[in-house]
Structure 1
Amino acid sequence: MTQSRLLVCGFGSFPAAPRNPSAAVVEALAREAWAPPGIEVEYLTLPVAWTGSVEAIQRALAHRAADAVLVVGVATESDAFRVETMGRNHAGRAKPDDLGETWEGSVIKPEGPGALASTAPTDEILAALIGSHLAARLSDDAGDYLCNFTLYRLLADAAAPSVAFLHVPQAREFSDAASGSLQEIDQAVRATVRTLADALRRPVAERHTA
């Protein structure tokens, strides 16, 4: 039987987060080659670029398809982990990416729907985070920057059967004003990956989304 496969992505630096904990944790897990039993996991660090973030994922999936994609991004002002339930078809035109480029319009896909629901088991991910004693909540607004942009495009393009997005707080190791820690972020990413892996082990007919 073929192993299920997950692609786990974190974002690199950008103006509001010169040190991004999502990349730090994803890269640490990659060095460890960590994966739940019976599941293959590939790790990828994404550029924070309007043209580049989704393309990096598309290249990885073109090389080897995945049953689920988890993208981890930082919400610098958040005091809790946020499980994103919705990608919205809008983008902040005035927000430059790490290359200094801005998005050309206020929508991501002019022909696309206004919003798309996550295809991941978001309620189960939330329960796993809370069960790990982490402050967490569901969110239906991933903002208007690269996090929402990437989530919406992956959902619109049906990049994988299951697409999840986890927003993490900034780490105290990287900012005096932050409310999280790298250890907690590591714990949250592992819990999310385990939940996605558990869902993939179930027969397709038994998998559900929130």
Structure 2
Amino acid sequence: MALTTRSGSGTLRSRSLVLCKTAHVVKPVVLLTGFGPFPGVERNASADLVQTLARMGAGRYDDVRFVAEVLPVDWQNAPLRIGALIGQYRPALSLHFGVSARATGFVIEAHAYNAAIKMPDEGGHTAETSYLISGDRPRRSATLPVRRIVRDLRDAGFPADLSSDPGRYLCNAVLYHSLRHATLTTPRLRSGFIHIPATLEIGVGGETSLISWPDAIAGGLRLIESCLIPLRRRQSVLS
């Protein structure tokens, strides 16, 4: 198993974890992103979760390469980092994770919006405009099988809901830019966003969370499996 750690752009907190079980073999890439800390959240569970899922995923799936990145909660650098990651790795799947005070389990986001809220990022900066991309479409839909993911998670015993409102903070911005970059550069990329409870504590659970930390890991792996099914079908057709 190969492990590479490097710093992301814009902040020392941004780092990436690249895991591939067999070198020199072209494999579909699964990009997993989480966020670093931001005002009100000193330790972001999504950062720990994506790195854990990448390690465990690499041990479980020898036909897939996992890349995990912790994005800065930064209005300027997070979207730039997403574009750079998609350009570098050309992933087949892009699964973005973040925390939400409204989430009690897994919340699968169906859409992202070309809108931004005037809420400070980790550096105290706010979005410069009320939109993300001037003149771009007002809404983009996730390209993951969102309904299947919710159904599969529920069937496995994990609380899961479908949402059409990811907020207008960096979670929404990252999903919007991910979907836009996919359209422009990597049309076959399937991208989506998953919220987990903001109260989820690393190693345990949370005061208002319906899932424990082990549940978050197990559910995350189940979610990945749900997304890999159509990917493998597509590969078998092309092969």
Band of TM-score, shorter chain: 0.7 to 0.9
Distance 2:72 2:163 in 1: 23
Deviates more, 1:41-50 or 1:29-38: 29-38
Structure-1 residue corresponding to 2:233 = 202
- 8 Å Cα contact 1:8-1:69 kept in structure 2: yes
1:68 shift after superposition: 1.3
In 2, are the aligned partners of 1:10 and 1:44 still within 8 Å (CA)?
Answer: yes
Instruction: Confirm whether residue 106 of structure 1 aligns to residue 130 of structure 2.
Output: yes
Aligned partners of 1:10 and 1:73 also within 8 Å: yes
Q: Quote the residue 1:167 is aligned against.
A: 195
Aligned pairs (5 A) from 1:172-191: 172-173=200-201, 177-179=207-209, 180-191=211-222
What's the offset of the Cα at 1:57? Answer: 2.4
- Aligned match for 1:36, one of 45, 50, 61: 61
Equivalent of 1:68 in 86, 93, 116: 93
Residues 110 and 164 in structure 2, CA contact (< 8 A), matched pair in contact too: yes
Partner letter of residue 105 of structure 1? T
Q: Which has the higher contact order (CA 8 A, sep 6+)?
A: 1
Select between 6-15 and 182-191 the one with higher mean Cα deviation. Answer: 182-191
8 Å contact from structure 1 (residues 53, 150) kept in 2: yes
Q: What 5-or-longer segments of structure 2 have no aligned partner?
A: 1-24
Tell me the percent identity.
29
Identify which of 131, 134, 140 aligns with 2:158: 134
Q: Over alpha carbons, which structure has the higher Rg?
A: 2
Q: TM-score, normalised by structure 2?
A: 0.78
RMSD (Å), alpha carbons? 2.2
Q: Deviations over 1:49-107 (max 9, x none)?
A: 111112222222322211111001111232231111101111102x0001111001111
Residues 158-183 of structure 1: per-residue CA shift (max 9 Å, x gap): 26421011111124436863313222
Which of the numbers 173, 187, 191 marks the counterpart of 1:149?
A: 173
Are 1:50 and 2:75 an aligned pair?
A: yes
C-alpha distance 98-163 of structure 1, shift in aligned 2 (>3 A): same
CA contact (8 A) 1:171 1:181 kept: no
Name the CA distance, whole Å, in 2 between partners of 1:107 and 1:35: 40
* Superposition map of 1:72-91 within 5 A: 72-91=97-116
Q: Summarize the Cα distance change of 1:125–1:96 in structure 2 as closer, same or farther, 3 Å threshold.
A: same
Letter in 2 for 1:177: E
Q: Aligned partner of 1:188: which letter?
A: G
Work out whether residues 83 and 181 of structure 2, in 8 Å CA contact, stay in contact via their aligned partners in 1.
Answer: no
Moved more, 67-76 or 49-58: 49-58
Contact 2:35 2:46 in 1 (8 A): yes
- Distance in 2 of aligned mates of 1:12 and 1:193: 21
